[in-house]
């Protein structure tokens, strides 16, 4: 019996499945206790303080959805003193996953400290950024840099690559998060979540 895809379980845990698909999954899980246990684990790992009807509900660290040939990589940018420790204001270079096979890829970047997820790129309400607008580095890969925020010793950053054809009202945050998670569940978008620890001042 084939294992239920993790992306589908993620969408179910976040409440992003339509009622018919949710019922079909429930019927499958009734016969698959191991997969039902995986769903319970995912639900317990999602942040409980963010309502699924509004805002973002994302999984813990890891890669989800569309499988790329080259995964996301995160590396601290060297400080002027030669150190690489993460402090508030430190920069981290994110090497974007390969987008081969993803039609017209677009980028969203989210951040979470101690509260709910916040969209950092693009500004809230705006459509995502076309990956084609991000220049490639000398290594041929595309990079962005994010800045570690203050007053959040444990920070999560999420990089989402979706098709530019995703039809959604970008001014409706709840609709955007549901559409993105549904695309991840169907393997039509990639989602990478990294957790970083920032040293106290």
| 15: pLDDT strictly greater than 80 | no
Question: Is the distance from CB of 38 to CB of 9 less than 8 angstroms?
Answer: yes
The predicted structure's pLDDT at residue 81 = 65
The predicted structure's pLDDT at residue 128 = 94
Residue 95 lies in a domain: yes
Neighbours of 186 (CB within 10 A): 14
pTM (whole model) above 0.75: no
The predicted structure's pLDDT at residue 49 = 46
Comparison of pLDDT for 8 and 163, the residue scoring more: 163
| 173: pLDDT strictly greater than 90 | no
Residue 6 lies in a domain: no
| 2: pLDDT strictly greater than 60 | yes
Q: What is the pLDDT of residues 84-111, one digit of tens each?
A: 678 888 899 999 999 998 899 999 999 9
Instruction: Round to whole Å and give the CA distance between 95 and 102.
Output: 17
The predicted structure's pLDDT at residue 130 = 95
Comparison of pLDDT for 46 and 130, the residue scoring more: 130
Residue 172 lies in a domain: yes
Number of domains composing the chain: 1
The predicted structure's pLDDT at residue 145 = 94
| 186: pLDDT strictly greater than 90 | no
Domain of 91? 51-197
Task: Taking residues 63-68, report their average pLDDT.
Answer: 86
Residue 35 lies in a domain: no
Residue 20 lies in a domain: no
- N-to-C CA span, the chain: 52
Residue 69 lies in a domain: yes
Smallest CA-to-CA distance from 177 within 133, 131, 112 is with: 112
Smallest CA-to-CA distance from 182 within 20, 49, 48, 73 is with: 20
Residue 80 lies in a domain: yes
Residue 45 lies in a domain: no
Task: Taking residues 11-35, report their average pLDDT.
Answer: 79
Q: What is the pLDDT of residues 101-158, one digit of tens each?
A: 889 999 999 999 988 899 999 988 899 999 999 999 888 899 999 999 887 889 999 9
């Amino acid at each position: 019996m084939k294992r239920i895809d993790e992306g589908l379980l993620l969408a179910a845990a976040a409440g992003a499945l339509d009622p018919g698909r949710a019922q079909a999954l429930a019927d499958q899980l009734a016969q698959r206790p191991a997969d039902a246990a995986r769903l319970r684990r995912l639900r317990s790992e999602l942040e409980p303080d963010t309502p699924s009807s509004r805002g973002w509900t994302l999984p813990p660290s890891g890669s989800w959805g569309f499988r790329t040939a080259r995964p996301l990589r995160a590396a601290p940018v060297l400080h002027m003193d030669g150190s690489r420790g993460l402090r508030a204001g430190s920069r981290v270079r994110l090497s974007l996953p390969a987008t081969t096979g993803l039609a017209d890829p677009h980028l969203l970047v989210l951040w979470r400290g101690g509260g709910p997820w916040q969209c950092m790129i693009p500004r809230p309400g705006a459509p995502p950024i076309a990956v084609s607008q991000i220049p490639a580095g000398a290594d041929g890969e595309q990079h962005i840099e994010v800045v570690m925020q203050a007053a959040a010793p444990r920070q999560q950053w999420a990089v989402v690559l979706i098709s530019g054809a995703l039809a959604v009202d970008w001014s409706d945050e709840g609709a955007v998060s549901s559409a993105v998670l549904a695309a991840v569940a169907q393997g039509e978008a990639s989602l990478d979540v990294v957790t970083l620890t920032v040293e106290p001042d």
